[in-house]
Amino acid sequence: MAERLSASSAEESLELQPSRSRRRYKATNMAFEEMVEMVSILRREDYDGKKGPYTRPNMRKDKIMSSVVTALEQKFGTKRAKEQLRKRWSDLKSREPEQYWRIKKLLKKSK
Exposed / middle / buried, residue 51 (Cβ in 10 Å: 0-12, 13-18, 19+)? exposed
| Average pLDDT rounded to a whole number, residues 25-34 | 84
The residue-averaged pLDDT of 61-71 equals 96
Mean pLDDT, rounded, for 13-26 = 56
Q: What is the mean pLDDT of the chain?
A: 84
pLDDT at 43 over 90: yes
Largest distance between two CA atoms of the chain: 74
Model pLDDT, residue 14: 46
What type of residue sits at position 34? E
pTM for the model stands at: 0.75
Show the DSSP H helices in 1-111 as ranges.
2-16, 32-44, 57-76, 82-94, 97-110
